[in-house]
Amino acid sequence: MHKGVIACEGQKEDINEMDGVDAALNTLCKSSTAPIECTDVENIQSAQKRLEALEVTIEGLENGLESVFRRLIKTRASLLNIISQ
């Protein structure tokens, strides 16, 4: 998929979550050279929350893909049964 090309709203949210995680991790990496401060703890917590949200999104995508694959297998079996009769 090209950056900026959105197929549907669900994908737009996924891209935004990935951008958020990327930004949080970049902030965390940039601040990791300095001694640990209160803002670093906040950055770590923010990155952790974004990663957890991304994990939930990925799990949802995996479940959706699993359903699609199961349906494709059933459809293939049905088509093979029709052809063989």
Query: Is 27 among the domain residues?
Result: yes
Query: Is 76 among the domain residues?
Result: yes
Query: Is 35 among the domain residues?
Result: yes
What pLDDT digit, counting tens, does each position of 31-69 carry?
Answer: 656 555 666 778 788 888 888 988 998 999 999 999 999
Query: Is 68 among the domain residues?
Result: yes
Which tokens is 76 given?
């293939």
Nearest residue to 44 via CA among 22, 30, 24: 24
Q: pLDDT: is 26 or 82 the higher one?
A: 82
Q: Residue 56 and residue 18: Cα distance in Å, rounded?
A: 12
The pLDDT, as a whole number, for residue 35 is: 59
The pLDDT, as a whole number, for residue 72 is: 98
Residues spanned by the domain of 32: 11-84
Residue 30 has pLDDT above 80, yes or no: no
Query: Is 20 among the domain residues?
Result: yes
